[in-house]
């Protein structure tokens, strides 16, 4: 990565987005940092000619168009899109609230789709670029309390797989970053919850919510180190499609995929028996 590259980071006011922005700035890169309220980006560092803070709610499609136009006018190109904006809404599947579910999908899924679509013509013209989307280990695994949050992350994972197949021949790279337990405000102020009131879910959803709340602030993952790992992706000639971060997340994902593969293979005869 050189100082000639330009990043656009959504959700840069806190958590992974803020740490990533600070690390990118420290590398000398130029960066467009966005948040719902640009005032929340104060103190992020960097000189005015290097850092361009802008208001952006990714659910406002007109605002996306405006921000990308302003970014390209300011810096002339966009080399890396970091889709970080998002949040978690936790509930049992049965007790999920429709309005909250849809609002989360609007941000985590449809907002991400929209800004990625808007960036692609720029990257196609450049014949280069990298789309990095922060998903989660929940985009690979399924855990009690996370049915709808996991659904948003699985959606981004599926989108990214198909996107990679379409744009990699054009020189555009696509990577999903799947963090595990990191010390951000994900389980605190940035998250939403509907507490389970159904006794049948006390030992699954309820216990999972309690464990997450008790562990908040003591997660083993360091967001600053995660930011450096994300930047390193852009320095590789052939970056991976997936980057799982954190020891807990890594072990959980590997275990999930191994079990899934074992289950699929156990039904090989059935799978092959249904063809003409």
Task: Determine contact, residues 82/132, Cβ cutoff 8 Å.
Answer: yes
Cα(10)–Cα(132) distance, integer angstroms: 11
Phi, psi of 133 (to 5 degrees): -115, 125
Cα(82)–Cα(134) distance, integer angstroms: 8
Phi, psi of 135 (to 5 degrees): -100, -110
Q: Which residues are catalytic?
A: 149
Structure tokens, 80: 């890396």
Per the listing, tokens 């509930």 go with: 91
Local structure of residue 49 (DSSP, 8 states): T
- Those residues with Cβ within 8 angstroms of residue 45's Cβ, 6 or more apart along the chain or in another chain: 22, 25, 26, 51
Cα 53 to Cα 30, 35, 70, 99, 111: the distances in Å are 11, 8, 11, 30, 19
Closest CA to 152 of 134, 179, 167: 134
Structure tokens, 95: 């007790």
- How much of the chain is helix, strand and coil, in % rounded to 5? 50, 15, 35
Cα(255)–Cα(160) distance, integer angstroms: 22
């Amino acid at each position: 990565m050189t100082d000639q590259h330009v990043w656009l980071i959504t959700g840069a006011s806190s958590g992974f987005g803020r740490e990533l922005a600070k690390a990118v700035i420290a590398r000398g890169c130029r960066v467009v940092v966005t948040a719902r309220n640009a005032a929340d980006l104060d103190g992020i560092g960097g000189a005015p000619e290097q850092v361009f803070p802008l208001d952006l709610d990714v659910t406002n499609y007109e605002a996306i168009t405006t921000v990308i136009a302003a970014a390209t006018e300011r810096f002339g190109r966009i080399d890396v899109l970091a889709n970080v904006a998002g949040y978690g809404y936790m509930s049992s599947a049965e007790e999920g609230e429709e309005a909250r579910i849809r609002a989360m999908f609007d941000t985590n899924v449809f907002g991400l789709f929209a800004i990625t679509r808007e960036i692609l013509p720029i990257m196609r013209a450049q014949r280069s670029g990298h789309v990095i989307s922060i998903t989660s280990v929940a985009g690979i695994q399924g855990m009690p309390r996370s049915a709808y949050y996991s659904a948003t992350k699985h959606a981004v994972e599926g989108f990214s797989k198909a996107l990679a197949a379409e744009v990699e021949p054009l020189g555009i790279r696509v990577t999903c970053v799947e963090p595990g337990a990191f010390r951000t405000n994900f389980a605190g102020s940035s998250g939403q919850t509907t507490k389970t009131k159904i006794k049948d879910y006390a030992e699954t959803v309820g216990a999972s919510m309690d464990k997450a709340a008790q562990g908040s602030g003591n997660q083993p993952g360091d967001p600053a180190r995660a930011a450096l790992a994300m930047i390193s992706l852009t320095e590789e000639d052939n970056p991976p499609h997936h980057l799982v971060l954190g020891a807990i997340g890594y072990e959980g994902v590997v275990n999930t995929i191994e079990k899934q593969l074992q289950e699929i293979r156990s039904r090989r005869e059935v799978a092959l028996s249904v063809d003409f």
